[in-house]
Amino acid sequence: MQAPVHASAPASDPAGYPWLPLNTSAIVTADAVEPVLVDGSHWTTINAHLSAAGSAPMSERHAVLAIGSNRSLVALRRKYARVPGWVLPTLRVTVPGLDVGHAACVSRPGWIPWAPRVGTFGVRCSYEVAFLDGDTLAVLDATEPNYHRAALPPEHDVRLENGEVLVGVDLYCSRHGLIGGADGIAVPAGRQVQALELVAAALGRAVTHADLAADDGLREEAREAFAATAVSDGLAAAAVKAA
């Protein structure tokens, strides 16, 4: 099951990670979110919008499963702030056997990020797939130094709201594995207050987001401490697209 998220914190507040997800099919821009009805004509609708905006068509875009802050409107707008006229179609999907844990690292701004992991195949969890052009894909790759982008293994079939199956979907996997519990199983993703408790347990002392953001050495110390008990995400068969 996916964890609840902080409802009100701005993207600049590490305690709010991963912020509110879009939870809808839409065409997202810097100043608008236009809902898309997934009814069979959605590809035509999206392509018409992209053409009117002078943006790359769907046939030239890369499908990437959004997890963590990449599902958040405020985070997406922050990441693409320097991309002129960006347009990002996102479609709500369900995926079986895919859940989230905490990557065994600390981000530069001081939060402990989420990462995908193999879950229970009898359960389909909800996400969004973002369709990125060359510019937005390059920007997103650059914002994910603790991840590599890989092909989602085919047994995790990605289905739209109308049941249509998407193929060729990528996702970002943790380079460092996932934070493991005493049972050797990945700790389920939770709020940052719980994630800081994981950091404190690994380091043997309490720290804050501000402490982590301000100190490269402390973040590396936390990463090394997590490495001692890190576990695999179970997605090792995924073919790496961007290291």
Q: What is the pLDDT of residues 44-64, one digit of tens each?
A: 999 999 999 999 999 999 999
Checking if the pLDDT of 4 tops 60, the result is: no
Checking if the pLDDT of 9 tops 90, the result is: no
Average pLDDT of the residues in 164-191: 96
Angle at 65 between CA 60 and CA 68, to 5 degrees: 135
How far are the Cα atoms of 17, 28, 149, 163 from residue 14, in angstroms, in the given order? 6, 23, 23, 36
Write down the domain spans for the chain: 16-233
The confidence score (pLDDT) of residue 166 equals: 97
Give me the phi and psi of 124, to 5 degrees please. Answer: -105, 120
C-beta atoms surrounding 5 within 10 Å:
21
C-beta atoms surrounding 184 within 10 Å:
8
Average pLDDT of the residues in 181-201: 96
Core vs surface per residue 14-33: b (16+ CB within 10 A) or e:
bebbbbbbbeebbbbbeeee
Q: In angstroms, rounded to a whole number, what is the distance separating the alpha carbons of residues 112 and 23?
A: 22
**Residue 192: both structure tokens together:** 């940052």
- Nearest CA to 17 out of 98, 125, 106 is that of 106
The confidence score (pLDDT) of residue 243 equals: 60
Q: In angstroms, rounded to a whole number, what is the distance separating the alpha carbons of residues 35 and 89?
A: 10
pTM of the model: 0.91
Left, alpha or beta for 88 (phi > 0: left; psi -120 to 50: alpha)? Answer: beta
- Across the strands, what pairs with 178? 103, 231
How far are the Cα atoms of 14, 106, 200, 201, 234 from residue 196, in angstroms, in the given order? 11, 10, 6, 9, 24
How far out from the chain centre does Cα 46 lie?
Answer: 22
CB–CB of 58/131 below 8 Å? yes
**Residue 60: both structure tokens together:** 């030239």
- Give the H or E element holding residue 201: helix 192-203
Q: In angstroms, rounded to a whole number, what is the distance separating the alpha carbons of residues 6 and 115?
A: 17
Mean of all residue pLDDT scores within the chain: 92
pLDDT classification of 5: cutoffs 50, 70, 90 = very low
Q: In angstroms, rounded to a whole number, what is the distance separating the alpha carbons of residues 33 and 88?
A: 10
Architecture per CATH, 16-233? Roll (3.10)
The confidence score (pLDDT) of residue 122 equals: 86
